[in-house]
Amino acid sequence: MKKDCETCGNSFDAKRRTAKYCSGKCRVQAQRGSTGTTSTVVAFGIVPQLPAEPEPERRAGPLETAAFQELDAVSRAETLAGGVVLALARRIDQAGPDDTGSSFAALTKELRAALAAAVAGAEQDDEIDRARKQMEAKRRGRAG
């Protein structure tokens, strides 16, 4: 029985009356949603890139700003670990209505851990610590 292939349109001898395709290649192509008329450029995703328009200047959100200030206080904002912290903070700041509570909780937990790792071992001087160090330096100066 002669039939026309639903993918390529070629005529073929069907062994069964329910046959739709002339070959396994056409069957697979149909299963993958291709009609056989797709060009190689599109099939392999080789699409010419248009020049990107410059992105509008992005403002840092409150969490990203706070994370940057904390990292900057210990001179870790420019490190790889600092970049991870800022990326996580940015992601949390940009949370939308599609984000679930569990994803938000997971991001927050990861941010906490990344921030702890980024500032680990760094001295974090606050005003009281600086005053103590100045007093100790004065005492050493008088004693020496």
53 lies in a domain? no
Same domain as 71, residue 112:
yes
Q: What is the domain extent for residue 11?
A: 2-36
Same domain as 30, residue 69:
no
Cα–Cα distances (Å) from 106 to 3, 22, 84, 111, in that order, read 56, 51, 15, 9
- The 10s digit of each residue's pLDDT in 115-134 is 999 888 776 666 777 788 88
CA trace torsion 47, 7, 33, 25 (10° rounding)? -90
Q: What are φ and ψ of residue 43, in 5° steps? A: -60, -35
Same domain as 84, residue 31:
no
- The 10s digit of each residue's pLDDT in 55-111 is 677 788 899 999 999 998 888 888 899 999 999 999 999 888 888 889 889 999 999
pTM exceeds cut of 0.85: no
Same domain as 131, residue 95:
yes
89 lies in a domain? yes
Q: Are residues 92 and 60 in contact, defined by beta-carbon separation less than 8 angstroms?
A: no
Same domain as 136, residue 85:
yes
CA 49 to mean position of chain CA atoms = 21
